Structure 1
Amino acid sequence: MSSTLRQNILITGASSGLGKGMAVLYAKMGRNLALCARRVDRLETLKAELEEVNPNITVLIKSLDVNDHDAVFTVFNEFKQEMGSLDRVIVNAGMGKGASIGTGYFKANKETAITNFVSAIAQCEAAVEIFREQNSGHLVTISSISAVRGFRRALTVYAATKAAITSLSEGIRIDLMRTPIKVSTIHPGFIRSEINEKVEKVPFMVDTETGCKAIIKAIEKEGGNSYVPAWPWAILNRIMRVAPLSWLAKMS
C-alpha cells in the first residue's frame, strides 16, 4: 500500500463503466474527484449521487472529448487550479469499436486507435506536465488483459491500442524513475461494462463493482503493472504470453 494519500483524483471517461465505478468507490473512501467525459448530463447525475454517498468531498465535473487534444490540456489545468493540486490522474477514457481488418470497418478501427492511444498520449502529457511542476503525482493508465497478445475480430485494434498503452506507460515509468512521480498500469480482465455489454460468452467475466474494487486495490498499491482481478489474471496473463494462437482464438 502506498504511504502517500492521493486526495485529489482526476478520472477521464467518468460518466459510465469503469470510470463511474471507480468514482463511486473513491467517494466512499473520502477522496475529492475531478471527473470529465463527453456526456455532461451523466456527469451531473453522477456528481449528485457521489455527494449523497459522501457530502464531505469535493466533486468537480467538466465536459471533455479526449479526442480534442487541446481541450485535454485546458481541462486538466483547470482542474488543477480549482483543486490546488492533482494527486492522481486515471487515464481511463476509451472505446471498443471495430471489426476484423480488411472487412470494411477502417473508420471504426481508426476511431478506436485514436481514442485509445493518441488521445491517451495527450492525457499522459497533460498529467505529467502538472506532476513535474508539482514534483509529485501518480499517473494511472487503464490498459487491458488483451495487451498481452493479439486478439481477433472486434478486439484486433483494441488489443493493439492497449499493448501500446502498456508500452507507453513503461517508457514514462523509466523516464520518471528517479522522481517522486509514480506510474501504474492496470490490466483489467473481462469486466462487464457499457463497452462490452453486447458480448455474451467470455471466460471469467465479473460484474462492474467487483472489477472496480480490484482495480482500486491495485491502484492504491501503486505498483508498475497489475492484472486484475488477481484471480485468474495474475497467473493467466503469463500463460497467455506463451499460448498457441488456437487457444487465444477461443478467448475472443
Structure 2
Amino acid sequence: MPTAEPPPADRTPPAPWPRKRYVALGDSQTEGVGDGDDTTGLRGWADRLAELLAPHNPGLEYANLAVRGRLAGHVRSLQLAPALALRPDLATVVAGMNDLLRPRFDADEVAADLEAVFAALTAQGARVATVTFPDISRIAPLARPFAPRVTALNDRIREAARRHGVVVAETAHPPVVTDPRLWSPDRLHASPLGHARIAAAVAHALGVPGSDDSWARPLPPVPPPTRAGAAAAELRWAAAFLGPWLARRVRGRSSGTGRHPKRPDLRPL
C-alpha cells in the first residue's frame, strides 16, 4: 500500500455545497447495469445521485466515465486523466468488484490503484466519495469463497479513503443490502431498487440536503423460499449467469470490450 500520510488534523474539509461538476468513475454498477437496458438506456445509481444533487446545485453538470468490466487498474489508467481534465468538484469512484472475482486477486494492488485515483482527484480539489461492498456470499451462496476477499478490499478502501479525506458510504453492513429484491437476476448488479438505495446511501454520506438513513431500512418481509425452491434458484442462476461469466473469463473477454463511456462529457441533466 502507498505510504501517504493522513491529512493534518486541522485540515479544513471542502465545503459540501454547491457543487457544479460531478464526474462518476467506475465499472458496470456506476454505468448502471441492472437499471434499464442497452436498448432503452441505462440509468443507475450515479445518474440517480446526480438527480438528487441537482435541486441543491443549480447548473449542475454531470459526466459518467464508467464502463462495465473495468478493473481498478483500468479506472486509474483509462478514466482518471479524462476525469481530471473535466475538473470535477465532486467525483465518485467505485471499482474493485471485477478484480475481486478474478482468479488472481491482490487486495493491496487493487487498493493502490483506487488510492491513486483518490489522491489525484482530491489533490485537484474535488470532493470524492466511494462505497464499501456487501458480502456477495450472502447474495449468491456459491460465491462463499470470495467473502474474505470482500472483507480485505473493504478494509483497504476505508484506509485509503481516510488518508485522502474521501467520503465512504458504508453499504457493506446493513442487512437490507443483501435482500434479493435489491439485486438483478445475475446477482452481480443492483436492481433498479438497489441502484436507488446506493444513490441514497452516497447522498446521505455526502450530506446532501434532505438525505437520511432510510436507504438502510429493511424492506417489507416476504415469505422465505423453501429449501427446494432455493436450491432450484441456485441451479438456474449458475446455468444462466455463472456459466457464461466463467466462459468469458476463460476466453479472456470482458463485458466491456468495445464499449465507451455513456456520458463522457459534462452536461446538464
User: What TM-score does the superposition give when structure 1 sets the normalisation length?
Assistant: 0.54
Please give the alpha-carbon distance, in whole angstroms, between the structure 2 residues aligned to 1:165 and 1:220: 22
1:20 positional shift: 4.8
Matched, 1:230 2:234: no
Q: Which of 75, 79, 85 is residue 83 of structure 2 equivalent to?
A: 79
- 1:29-44 to 2 correspondence within 5 Å? 29=52, 30=54, 31-38=61-68
Please give the alpha-carbon distance, in whole angstroms, between the structure 2 residues aligned to 1:8 and 1:78: 13
Is the CA contact (8 Å cut-off) linking 1:186 and 1:228 kept in structure 2? no
Is the CA contact (8 Å cut-off) linking 1:166 and 1:185 kept in structure 2? no
Is the CA contact (8 Å cut-off) linking 2:49 and 2:202 kept in structure 1? no
- 2:34 corresponding residue in structure 1: 17
Please give the alpha-carbon distance, in whole angstroms, between the structure 2 residues aligned to 1:189 and 1:228: 16
- 2:204 corresponding residue in structure 1: 221
1:10 positional shift: 1.3
SS of residue matched to 1:36: coil
Q: 1:151 to 1:139 in 2, by over 3 A?
A: same
- 1:166 corresponding residue in structure 2: 154
Please give the alpha-carbon distance, in whole angstroms, between the structure 2 residues aligned to 1:213 and 1:175: 28
Runs of 4+ in structure 1 over 4 Å off: 117-120, 149-153, 226-229
SS of residue matched to 1:16: coil
Higher relative contact order (CA 8 A, sep 6+): 2
- 2:247 corresponding residue in structure 1: none
Matched, 1:128 2:80: no
Is the CA contact (8 Å cut-off) linking 1:95 and 1:195 kept in structure 2? no
1:124 positional shift: 1.8
Count residues with an aligned counterpart.
179
Amino acid at match of 2:196: K
1:12 positional shift: 1.0
- 1:248 corresponding residue in structure 2: none
1:38 positional shift: 4.5
Amino acid at match of 1:9: V
Identify unmatched segments of 5+ residues in structure 1.
40-64, 98-107, 199-206, 234-251
Q: 1:34 to 1:86 in 2, by over 3 A?
A: farther
1:22 positional shift: 1.1
1:32 positional shift: 0.3
Is the CA contact (8 Å cut-off) linking 2:90 and 2:127 kept in structure 1? yes
- 1:44 corresponding residue in structure 2: none
Q: 1:70 to 1:109 in 2, by over 3 A?
A: closer
Please give the alpha-carbon distance, in whole angstroms, between the structure 2 residues aligned to 1:164 and 1:72: 20
Q: 1:137 to 1:217 in 2, by over 3 A?
A: same
- 2:178 corresponding residue in structure 1: 189
Is the CA contact (8 Å cut-off) linking 2:24 and 2:64 kept in structure 1? yes
% identical aligned pairs? 12
Amino acid at match of 2:149: T
SS of residue matched to 2:128: strand
Q: 1:96 to 1:174 in 2, by over 3 A?
A: closer
- 2:143 corresponding residue in structure 1: 155
Identify unmatched segments of 5+ residues in structure 2.
1-14, 36-41, 55-60, 220-233, 235-269
Q: 1:159 to 1:229 in 2, by over 3 A?
A: farther
- 2:9 corresponding residue in structure 1: none
